[in-house]
């Protein structure tokens, strides 16, 4: 069966649906091809399920600190089955809403696997689809890592762990990225003995080193064992179905044992069986290569979200989807470009990590001049009252005029606090603006005025 559409989108997750909605609003005949399960990574295996279970861990951690706040000690026993049941109910609600959007009659939905036949043709089950433009939004899957013995011994991915109903007594986490640390801290807080093994010298190695240092201290103080700067050498099965992970740590061979192993060393773009060769779409190191307009090596084929391996952040995937949806329906015009000036990331560990714009590491690599100042939560009144002692706020500014280049927050409610700094940067504001804006006392938000004041003093002296 042959069918023709203006825009054909492969993948119905957050990025794909954003592209479909935008293209439809531009008047295009839009088709979505998704073999299912429908809903997308964010809803089914990412943002929503992880945040649902992390809320349980936050409550458990507060209960464990009851005596610190003058309350009688209390014990909270975790029931992982019930935790997962709650998560599943929430995910089902979110997924049902998204499925309803995808099955809206204004779209043509093909629930089949997609495979390119040529740059303008796609096979979707029994359907041969021809399109004027295509948008690839197939997301990502857990990356497979070659570690001796890992496959033979068996391991869990983040996808597996979100459905685990039998709580392990001990868990070895391979990797220290956002997913690894969020899930590792969750299991530690509900009573599992957790060991984190990281290859790089710092946790969250893609960020500034001071962020990883603070988070490592916080995790270790909670009882998580953390090894950084390691080299994995092998994994073996131990007694009673346990696993032994061997590695080199600071030149010394070491072995740790655990009931389960979480392989959380990243994800990779999901381009399996798309037959991108037939479409003549350039792929490098497993990712679809795109330009600033989200266009691939074919001017009428776009790619958005995790499949590009640029940012594994859902709101950015949505922005890219909207951009591609517009450009795909305006092929004859100069395309709109993605603006990465306000790229934001939030990591939902405790303390939370949030950042926007440039980091010190990025400024050094790009040779961008900057001034930097930070202030710790341990010396901030509202944080002290709350018992939040980890973290800091750090601001980067242009030396000549104080315009904000970037900001990082490690600490309580960082994911909420970062939005004031996003707003200031959106309007290309300065540290002077942060000083002039009223901040209520006592609040967590007023902490941003302290590094701003330090930067103002330094700029005034130049």
Q: What number of CA atoms fall less than 13 Å from residue 323's CA on the CB side? A: 23
Active site residue 441: yes
Q: What is the pLDDT of residue 462?
A: 56
Average pLDDT over residues 424-449: 97
Task: Choose among 67, 50, 76: nearest CA to 189.
Answer: 76
**Sheet strands (E) in 83-138:** 108-110, 114-118, 121-124, 127-136
Amino acid 460: pLDDT: 64
Closest CA to 4 of 137, 127, 135: 127
Average pLDDT over residues 128-154: 94
Could you give the C-alpha distances from 89 to 84, 96, 116, 127, in angstroms and in order?
A: 9, 11, 36, 34
- Treating both helix axes as pointing N-terminal to C-terminal, what angle do 314-328 and 14-25 enclose, rounded to 10 degrees? 30
- Residue 1's pLDDT is 86
Non-local (6+) Cβ contacts of 30 within 8 A are: 5, 6, 7, 8, 9, 20, 23, 24, 106, 107, 108
162 contacts 251 by C-beta, under 8 angstroms: no
Mean pLDDT within 384-391 = 96
Can you tell me the mean pLDDT for 184-192?
97
Q: What is the pLDDT of residue 293?
A: 97
pLDDT for 239: 72
In 3D, which of 323, 338, 325 has the Cα closest to residue 292? 338
The DSSP H or E segment spanning 357 is strand 352-357
**Which H or E run contains 220?**
helix 209-222
The answer to whether the CB of 373 falls within 8 A of the CB of 451 is: yes
* pLDDT the model gives residue 351: 97
11, 53 in Cβ contact below 8 A?
no
The structure tokens 């950015």 sit at: 316
Contact status, residue 417 vs residue 445, Cβ threshold 8 Å: yes
Return d(Cα 32, Cα 20) in angstroms, integer.
7
Tell me: cis bond preceding 37? Omega within 30 of 0 counts: yes
- Is the pLDDT confidence value at 62 over 70? yes
User: Which residues touch 140 (CB under 8 Å, ≥6 apart)?
Assistant: 41, 267, 268, 269, 270, 306, 307, 309, 312
Phi, psi of 341 (to 5 degrees): -65, -30
pLDDT at position 74, please? 81
Q: Which pLDDT does position 403 carry in this prediction? A: 97
**Domains and their CATH numbers in the chain:** 2-142+268-328 (3.50.50.60), 150-265 (3.50.50.60), 344-460 (3.30.390.30)
Q: How far apart are CA 424 and CA 431, in angstroms?
A: 9
pLDDT for 75 equals: 83
Find the DSSP H helices in 350-462. Answer: 360-366, 381-386, 414-426, 431-436, 449-460
- Is 98:258 a contact under the CB 8 Å cutoff? no
The whole-number average pLDDT for the span 123-139 is 97
Q: How much is the pLDDT for 461? A: 64
> Considering the chain, what percentage of its residues have pLDDT values greater than 90?
93
Mean pLDDT of the chain: 95
Tell me the sheet residues that pair with 408.
355, 394
Residue 244 has pLDDT above 80, yes or no: yes
Which tokens is 22 given?
């935008």
Per-residue model confidence as pLDDT tens digits over 403-413: 999 999 999 99
């Amino acid at each position: 069966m042959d069918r023709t559409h203006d825009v054909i989108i492969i993948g119905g997750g957050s990025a794909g649906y954003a592209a479909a909605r935008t293209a439809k609003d531009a008047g295009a005949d839009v088709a979505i091809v998704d073999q299912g399960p429908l809903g997308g990574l964010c809803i089914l295996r990412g943002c929503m399920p992880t945040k649902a279970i992390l809320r349980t861990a936050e409550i458990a951690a507060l209960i464990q600190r009851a005596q610190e706040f003058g309350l009688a000690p209390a014990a909270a026993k975790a029931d992982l089955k019930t935790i997962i049941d709650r998560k599943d109910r929430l995910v089902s609600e979110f997924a049902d809403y998204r499925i309803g959007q995808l099955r809206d009659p204004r779209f043509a939905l093909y629930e089949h696997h997609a495979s390119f036949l040529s740059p303008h043709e796609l096979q979707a089950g029994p359907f041969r689809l021809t399109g004027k433009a295509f948008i690839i939004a197939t997301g990502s899957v857990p990356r497979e890592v070659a570690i001796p013995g890992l496959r033979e011994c068996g391991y869990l991915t983040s996808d597996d762990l979100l459905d685990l109903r039998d709580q392990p007594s001990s868990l070895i986490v391979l990797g220290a990225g956002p997913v690894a640390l969020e899930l590792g801290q969750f299991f530690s807080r509900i009573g599992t003995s957790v060991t984190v093994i990281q290859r790089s010298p710092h946790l969250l190695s893609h960020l500034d080193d001071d962020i990883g240092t603070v988070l490592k201290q916080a995790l270790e103080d909670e009882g998580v064992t953390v090894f950084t700067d390691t080299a994995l050498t092998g994994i073996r099965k131990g007694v009673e179905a346990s696993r032994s992970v061997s590695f080199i740590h600071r030149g010394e061979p070491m072995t740790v044992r655990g009931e389960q192993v979480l392989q959380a060393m990243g994800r990779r773009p999901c381009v399996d069986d798309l037959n991108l060769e037939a479409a003549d779409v350039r792929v490098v190191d497993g990712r679809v290569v795109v330009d600033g307009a989200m266009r691939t090596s074919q001017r009428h084929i776009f790619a958005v979200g995790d499949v590009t391996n640029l940012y594994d952040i859902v709101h950015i995937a949505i922005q890219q989807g909207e951009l591609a949806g517009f450009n795909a329906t305006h092929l004859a015009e100069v395309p709109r470009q993605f603006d990465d000036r306000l790229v934001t990331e939030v990591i939902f560990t405790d303390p939370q990590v949030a950042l926007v714009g440039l980091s010190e590491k990025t400024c050094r690599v790009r040779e961008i001049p900057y001034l930097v100042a930070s202030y710790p939560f341990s010396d901030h009144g509202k944080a002290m009252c709350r018992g939040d002692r980890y973290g800091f706020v750090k601001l980067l500014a242009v030396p000549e005029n104080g315009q904000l280049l970037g900001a990082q927050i490690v600490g309580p409610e960082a994911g909420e606090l970062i939005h004031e700094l996003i707003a200031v940067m959106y309007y290309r504001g300065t540290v002077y603006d942060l000083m002039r804006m009223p901040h209520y006392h006592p609040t967590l938000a007023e902490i941003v005025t302290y590094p701003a004041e330090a930067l103002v003093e330094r700029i005034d002296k130049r």
